[in-house]
Amino acid sequence: MTRIDATFARLAQEGRRAFVAYVMAGDPDAETATEIVKGLPAAGVDVIELGVPFTDPMADGPTIQLAGQRALEGGMTLDRTLDIVRALRAEDDTTPVVLMGYYNPIYSKGVDRFLAEATEAGVDGLIVVDLPPEEDDELCLPAQAAGMNFIRLATPTTDDKRLPKVLQNTSGFVYYVSITGITGTGAASAAKVGPEVARIKAKTDLPVIVGFGIKTPEAAREIAGVADGCVVGSAIVERIGKGDSVADVLAYVKSLADGAHSA
C-alpha cells in the first residue's frame, strides 16, 4: 500500500474529502519552493502534487507555464525536484507526493534510473500528461512494478468508450479535469462535475479527485462535495508568482483545505 492508498483509506474511514495542492518545483526559487512544500501538510494538504518544470508544457495555462519558466531560469531540474522531495521526507514521512509533468525529462534520465531515484527520494505517484494508456509499457507499468501509483486524467471529453482504457492500469486516484482546455481557465461547476464523477465511479473503485477551475474555499467545498476531493493548482501558483510571502501562500492554502474538508 502506497502513502496515497493509505491516505485515501484513512480519509474514507474518517468520512472526509481530500485536498490536493499543486505547486511548481523551484518556483519562485528552490529555497522558497522547498519551504512552501514543507509547509503544505500543516496547512491541511492531504496530497502534494509537485510540478516538474518543462520547456514545452502543452497542457498548462499561462500561470503554470510562467511558473515553469521561472523555475527553469533559476536552475531547477528533475534531480533538484527530487531534492525538494527529500527535504520534505526529512520532516514528514506520511504525506504523499505526486510528481506531475511530462515524459521527456524522465526519458532523458532513463526510466529505470528515474524510478530508482524517485522511489529513494520518497515519491509516491506520477502524473505524466503526455503518455496515453497506449504507451503504458513506457513508464506506467514499470512505475507500478517499482511500487509507485500511476495516476491518469479523465476529462469531459472522455466518453464511455474511452473511459475503460483510461482506467486500465490507473492506481492511486483518478484525476478528473472539470473543464475542457488548459489549466487556470474557467471555473468548475458542481452541477456539471457531479454526474461526471458518478459516471467514473461506476467504473472504478478508485477515489475521484477533481481539479481545474477551483480558486476559493467555497468552490473547494462545493466541488469536493460531489467527489472524493479536489485539487487546486493555478490559484496557488498565481499567489507565488505575485510574490506573496510563504506565510501568506500557506494561509491561502489552509483556507482552501478547510473549504474542501468542510464538504
Question: What are the chain's domains?
Answer: 3-261 (3.20.20.70)
C-alpha cell belonging to residue 168: 486500465
* Residue 179 pLDDT: 77
* Residue 186 pLDDT: 63
* Residue 145 pLDDT: 98
* Residue 185 pLDDT: 56
Q: Is the pLDDT of residue 260 over 60?
A: yes
Q: How confident is the model at residue 59 (pLDDT cuts 50, 70, 90)?
A: confident
C-alpha cell belonging to residue 32: 522558497
Q: Give the Cα-Cα-Cα angle 90, 254, 204 (nearest 5 degrees).
A: 80
Q: For residue range 215-253, what is the model confidence (pLDDT) as tens digits? A: 999 999 999 999 999 999 999 999 999 999 999 999 999
Q: For residue range 29-56, what is the model confidence (pLDDT) as tens digits? A: 999 999 999 999 999 999 999 999 999 8
Active site residues: 49, 60
**CA-CA distance, 209 to 202, in Å (whole number)?**
14
Cα dihedral 74, 151, 41, 117 sign: negative
Q: What are the strands of the beta sheet with 97-101, ordered from one edge? A: 149-150, 125-128, 97-101, 47-51, 18-24, 229-232, 208-211, 174-177, 152-154
